[in-house]
Amino acid sequence: MIPYRSIEQTEGMRTPLAPAMVNALELWYRMYQDRAPWKKPGVVKSLNLASMIAGEIARQVVLELKWKIEAPEPGRAPGGDARAKYLSAEFEKLMDVLRQKLEQGCAAGGMIVKPWPNPLDGHIYFDFAMDWGICPLAFGDGGGLSDVIIPDVFREGDCVYTRLERHRLEGGDVVITQRAFRSSREDPLGVEVPLSTVPRWAGLQCSARITDAGGALFGWYRAAAANPVDVGCPLGASVYARAAEVIREADMQYSRLLWEFEGGELAVDVDPTALISRTDGAGNALPKLNERLFRAVDTGAEETYRVFAPELRDGSLVNGLNQLLMRIEDLCGLSRGTLSEASAEARTATELRILRQRSYATVADNQRALEKCLRDVIRAMDVYATAYRLAPEGAFTVSFEWDDSILTDVGQQLQERLMLVNSGVIGRAELRQWYLGETEAQAKAAIRAVEAERREGNAEG
């Protein structure tokens, strides 16, 4: 977690975050790491639902995501072709790790994706900072981050080094300042040291101003859910924020279930007089079977052993846990069956579609939020490419295509559209455009090629 007080003292500014929001960020952080405050070794065990929920939403959001960065008229504008090709190659590195980072962003309620150029090798790299790892100082009129500190921390030997990278909007310009600190503890920051004394930061500038940037030089993803902790705070909320209390109850119920299984284990209580004396004289020995099965107990009766086999109450405990899991799904915007056993909830395709609606809405909202973030990242990459002359200048277009298979059955839709083709309602080119993602010209050319191949085959026959 961010040492807010130390940063506030260093920068001479206070974060607008309320104490309740800071506490919530810490709770979400601990829950994601499976270190929830209610977890107690041997008493309360965890289902690790927080990371499961964040991972499932992130998976569905980026499922089969398709994107393109290309020149408006490929082949006709050399500058645009070169700029689009460069940005596309660099952006691909971000997309390779997006799903893993998005999972953490969903858990934190948001994340910053910050591109940064390396003029030495001509490439652009990406840093990620979750909302529980940034220090916002001011928000713009639209709720965006207009002044924020993004820490970079690493340990070397007994010392902890912290770099505070501050991004501040001034009109259309972006002012970036950087300060380095060294301490023997992670909090507080310690003493300030020159950037040049830390090898990995030696090439960084203490301050820079980038004019006409068009906005912050990073993308900020905010989880698409209202903040229930601080309704006036522009920060997003964790995807499991509303369900935190029910997740605690589910962990408690899960622990009861495990205890029921453990406490109801089959056992044989054996009178000590029936046990075999050890050869070393150190007490009695258990029969040569599973020692876990036998317990030496003075039964107080004539029989030498008694079987302990209580009837388990697992059915009611499992049903109670399943009800809690369903409630968590409702609070997190997930369809029934994502966490719970919902086999009895839906019996027809229509009922399944209704159940999927909740997940579809949650995923679609987060896809829009993520697309806005990624477009800002590409804009920042373009600014850096121009400022550091990493690629020729030129126009380019960006497009994203998000998968909606959560709600729709592509196979069923294909069969329906084939019927429309056979009945003459739609054409084959229109079908290829939808199914293969081709342009109209590409679809018609492909159909002509297929027909020509068919005629050649018939002629040879």
**Mean confidence (pLDDT) of the chain:** 85
Mean pLDDT on 334-360: 71
pLDDT tens digit sequence for 139-173:
998 889 999 999 999 998 889 999 999 999 998 89
Question: Rounded mean pLDDT of 195-205?
Answer: 91
pLDDT score for 4: 85
Looking at residue 282, its pLDDT comes to 56
Q: Does residue 185 have a pLDDT over 90?
A: no
**Per-residue model confidence (pLDDT) at position 203:** 86
pLDDT above 50 (res 129): yes
pLDDT tens digits along 64-83: 899 999 888 766 666 668 99
The pair of three-digit structure tokens given for residue 141, joined into one six-digit string: 């009129």
Q: Which amino acid is at 40?
A: K
Q: In what order do the strands lie in the sheet with 123-130?
A: 123-130, 110-118, 219-222
Q: How many CB atoms lie within 10 A of CB 252?
A: 16
C-beta contacts of 321-328 below 8 A and 24+ residues apart: 321/250, 321/253, 321/254, 321/257, 324/246, 324/249, 324/250, 324/253, 325/250, 327/243, 327/246, 328/49, 328/53, 328/240, 328/243, 328/246, 328/247, 328/250
What own/partner pairs with CB < 8 Å and gap ≥ 24 does 160-167 have? 160/184, 160/185, 160/186, 160/190, 161/198, 162/189, 162/190, 163/195, 163/198, 163/201, 163/204, 164/7, 164/10, 164/11, 164/189, 166/11, 166/137, 167/216, 167/217, 167/218
Query: From residue 12, how far is each of 21, 283, 297 by CA, in Å?
Result: 21, 72, 70
Average pLDDT rounded to a whole number, residues 353-382: 89
Are the CB atoms for 255 and 399 separated by under 8 Å?
no
Q: Both tokens of residue 282?
A: 């150190």
Bond into 188 cis (ω within 30): yes
pLDDT: which is higher, 262 or 285: 262
**Nearby residues of 235 by Cβ (< 8 Å), 6 or more positions away:** 17, 21, 109, 110, 131, 136, 222, 227
Please report the pLDDT score of residue 417 as a whole number.
Answer: 84
Question: Do strands 219-222 and 207-210 pair parallel, antiparallel, or not at all (unpaired)?
Answer: unpaired
Q: What pLDDT digit, counting tens, does each position of 384-419 carry? A: 999 999 999 988 999 998 876 655 556 667 788 888
What pLDDT score was predicted for residue 323? Answer: 93
pLDDT the model gives residue 408: 56
Residue 461 has pLDDT above 80, yes or no: no
Per-residue model confidence (pLDDT) at position 410: 63
pLDDT over 50 at 308, yes or no: no
Q: Identify the band that residue 341 occupies on the pLDDT scale cut at 50, 70 and 90.
A: confident
Residue 72: the pLDDT is 82
Instruction: Specify the pLDDT at position 300.
Output: 55
Q: Residue 188 has what pLDDT?
A: 75
Percent of the chain past pLDDT 70, that is, above it, reads: 80
Residue 425: the pLDDT is: 87
Least confident of 129-133, 334-338, 455-459: 455-459
Query: Does the pLDDT at position 88 exceed 60?
Result: yes
Q: Are 106 and 54 in contact (CB under 8 A)?
A: yes
> Taking residues 345-361, what's their average pLDDT?
66
Q: What pLDDT does 435 receive?
A: 81
User: Which residues 6+ apart lie within 8 Å of 343 measured at CB?
Assistant: 337
Residue written as token pair 């009109």? 171
Weakest mean pLDDT among 25-39, 42-56, 274-288: 274-288
Say which range, 57-61, 77-81, 194-198, 430-434, has the weakest mean pLDDT: 77-81
Mean pLDDT of 78-106: 92
Parse the chain into domains and list their residue ranges. Answer: 4-243+361-401, 244-346, 410-460
| pLDDT-derived band at 289, boundaries 50, 70, 90 | very low
Backbone phi, then psi, for 295, in 5-degree steps?
-130, 130
Q: 343 versus 440: which is more confidently predicted?
A: 440
